[in-house]
Structure 1
Amino acid sequence: MSDCCTDSCGCGKVINAPVVTPVIGSKRVEPGKYKGSAAKVFFSPIIDAEHLIKLYNLVNSEIYGKVAIKLHTGEKHGPNILPRDLVQALQATIPNSNIVETNTLYEGDRYTTESHRETIKVNGWTFCPVDIMDEDGFVNLPVNGGFHLKEVAMGKNIVNYDSMLVLTHFKGHAMGGFGGSMKNIAIGCASGQVGKRQVHGIEGEPPADWNAWPAKEKLMELMADSAKATIDHFGKRITYINVMRNMSVDCDCAGVAAAKPTIADIGILASTDLLAIDQACVDLVYS
């Protein structure tokens, strides 16, 4: 497990991880007192296009070629999804880029490619192409040294990209506890009808009540396997941004049924280390 430290994006404010949090695995890194390397997480308390772009430019040194922007585009009229103008401003600065998504395992507004494309239009993701990566099937990516899986069925088109920006709305999640960068790629890149069954540990038809789906430690380990497959595929050519605004306890999968946020907006974080950025976000929520 990587330790994480927080750094400033130049906006004049630095947030340090709290001394104590109830999250297992969290460890405060004291500057000058830690031997070895520590991943950097850049932070801005200001949530706007200018600071989003500035943060991206701090973590994009390995990004090149055709760039996939992995985004959770949300169910129809989702109240908490990322502002379209924010994402549009960033995407306009990334040459040869577009949004990527996959269909869902549950029967919602993104269950089929046809309904998914309609939902994309309704939610305003019309300023650039949106590639539903499993529209034409899936491709198996290997999981090296995973907990349970040897390979994961990802949306077939993932292999058409040189690099990936994981642009995540950090929020709660009914089964995962929270939805950060790992959830965004672990479930979000897996194909709707094959890969997502693997990641959720479901054989055959999923139970109508999602409360009956495998969860807790088993789900965490399966998501880690899937995320590792995507990260190993891109190598250094993957980077992460988490936007901490409108943080409901519910995922954007809940759409208009999502609970209203009960925590103030915190800011934007960016890192080249998935574990560090998600841990920093959890630390900031608890602090």
Structure 2
Amino acid sequence: MEQSKVYFSDLRAPVGTNLLRKLEKLIRRAGIGDIDMEKKLVAIKLHFGEPGNLTYLRPNYAKVVADVVKSLGGVPFLTDCNTLYPGRRKNALEHMEAAYENGFSPFSTGCHVIIGDGLRGTDDVEVPVEGAEYIQTAKIGRAIMDADVFISLTHFKGHEATGFGGAIKNIGMGCGSRRGKMEQHNAGKPLVRQSRCVGCRRCSRECGQDAISYGEDGKAGIDQEKCVGCGRCIGACNFDAIRTPDDAANAELNRKMAEYAKAVVQDRSQFHISLVIDISPYCDCHDGNDTPILPDVGMFASFDPVALDQACADACLKLPVMPGSLLDDRMHEEGFVDHHDHFINTTPEAEWESCLEHAEKIGLGSRSYTLITV
């Protein structure tokens, strides 16, 4: 089988050029112009960033992609779906305000913002998934499915539940409506290690289901009936007191996510871009961010989201650890076990291989790729 092509550009920008021009050159060289976009509605899926977080992709990058789409005759819009958890992106009005606050407006990006699953996260389409093992019909935001062409623009970084957040997560989890996100998360429900809990109550502030309460000793407990397994509490805890007891839970989440991603892109034109910069340990869904765990790498583009994620991961695993980062702290803890994987070393409860393995198995793409430097 022919290897997928992944195109790469580093972040060097000598006098006379800049990263925005390099991004345009990258995506044009990678073949975005081969897509028929004439008078087509083009969804550009990205993460607008939870206000307070500063590692989300700058809107300048989104404008480059939107401008290229318009130059090819397309009609672009930026999109994401509402969140399960509390914050400022849980309904369309707050979500759009958050996007504008972080710089994603028609004036700065040259195209409109549309929240994919509507006002309350209930406007979705049930999409059958070819070859799926876990999902019969994926619940995808209606506006995303109504688009003629789909482009993902991803900030590649760590993630507390899926090992890393790459193109497949941006597509699969990001395009799921609120019930779609619940369907993906509902297998892995965390528990509290009472011996480590200090009763700080940060986890309850992150829980969107009111599933966390506190006993007379001040320690947290999770109501398994209310919990949807979103994993927000795991990332919120600074004391490693919350864990997922089922070793298969994260793998199941990853596989469902791959199936949701396939539902989004199957049978239509697609293109994928990942920027491996500001590699924070956790998702941009948090209203803050920790120092990057790894140095910046560069920009990648491909028609194959599986090959793209594999190439980004491979590049990251070759990098040195950033001193003073969470990953550096983990590696100096007593009893540290080296998994020889920066993402698993950062969050040992998580892993990412199952996502790419399953994505390849169901025909979303190939893990085998040729890297072409632009």
* Over 6 Å off, 4+ runs: none
2:167 equivalent in structure 1: 181
Post-superposition Cα deviations, 1:255-282, rounded to whole Å, max 9, x if no partner, equal 31x2111311110000111111100000
Q: Kindly indicate whether residue 91 of structure 2 is the aligned counterpart of residue 118 of structure 1.
A: no
Post-superposition Cα deviations, 1:18-77, rounded to whole Å, max 9, x if no partner, equal xxxxxxxxxxxxxxxxxx410010000027111111122123112522111000111003
Q: Quick check: 78-87 or 67-76, which moved more? A: 78-87
Q: Which amino acid aligns with 2:35?
A: E
The Cα of 1:205 is off from its aligned counterpart by 5.4
RMSD: 1.9
Select the residue among 8, 11, 15 that pairs with 1:46.
11
Does the 8 A contact of 2:186 with 2:228 survive in 1? no
Length, aligned pairs only = 248
1:23 equivalent in structure 2: none
Select the residue among 256, 269, 272 that pairs with 1:240.
272
Select the residue among 250, 257, 272 that pairs with 2:303.
272
Residues 172-211 of structure 1: matches in 2 within 5 Å? 172-192=158-178, 194-201=179-186, 206=228, 210-211=233-234
**Helix, strand or coil at the partner of 2:275:** strand
The Cα of 1:204 is off from its aligned counterpart by 6.1
The Cα of 1:246 is off from its aligned counterpart by 0.5
2:261 equivalent in structure 1: 227
Q: Which amino acid aligns with 1:129?
A: H
| Cα distance between partner residues in 2 of 1:255 and 1:51 | 30
**Helix, strand or coil at the partner of 2:287:** helix
| Cα distance between partner residues in 1 of 2:25 and 2:261 | 26
The Cα of 1:157 is off from its aligned counterpart by 1.3
Question: Does 1 or 2 have the higher relative contact order (CA < 8 Å, sep 6+)?
Answer: 1
Residues 79-98 of structure 1: matches in 2 within 5 Å? 79-95=54-70, 96-98=75-77
| Cα distance between partner residues in 1 of 2:228 and 2:2 | 43
Post-superposition Cα deviations, 1:223-274, rounded to whole Å, max 9, x if no partner, equal 111111112142xx01111001101111111131x21113111100001111
| Cα distance between partner residues in 2 of 1:186 and 1:245 | 21
Does the 8 A contact of 1:201 with 1:222 survive in 2? no
Does the 8 A contact of 2:157 with 2:281 survive in 1? yes
Q: Quick check: 275-284 or 142-151, which moved more? A: 142-151
CA 1:158–1:204: 2 relative to 1, 3 Å: farther
**Helix, strand or coil at the partner of 2:6:** strand
Residues 4-15 of structure 1: matches in 2 within 5 Å? none
| Cα distance between partner residues in 1 of 2:139 and 2:277 | 31
| Cα distance between partner residues in 1 of 2:229 and 2:258 | 23
Structure 1 unaligned residues grouped into runs of 5+: 1-35
Residues 10-29 of structure 1: matches in 2 within 5 Å? none
2:2 equivalent in structure 1: 37
If you compute each CA radius of gyration, which structure gives the higher value, 1 or 2? 2
| Cα distance between partner residues in 2 of 1:144 and 1:49 | 37
Select the residue among 269, 284, 297 that pairs with 1:252.
284
Does the 8 A contact of 2:150 with 2:265 survive in 1? no
Q: Which TM-score applies when normalising by structure 2?
A: 0.63
Q: Which TM-score applies when normalising by structure 1?
A: 0.81
Residues 51-200 of structure 1: matches in 2 within 5 Å? 51-57=22-28, 58-60=30-32, 61-64=34-37, 65-95=40-70, 96-127=75-106, 128-135=111-118, 137-192=123-178, 194-200=179-185
**Helix, strand or coil at the partner of 1:254:** coil
Q: Kindly indicate whether residue 311 of structure 2 is the aligned counterpart of residue 263 of structure 1.
A: no
The Cα of 1:166 is off from its aligned counterpart by 0.6
**Helix, strand or coil at the partner of 1:42:** strand
1:284 equivalent in structure 2: 315
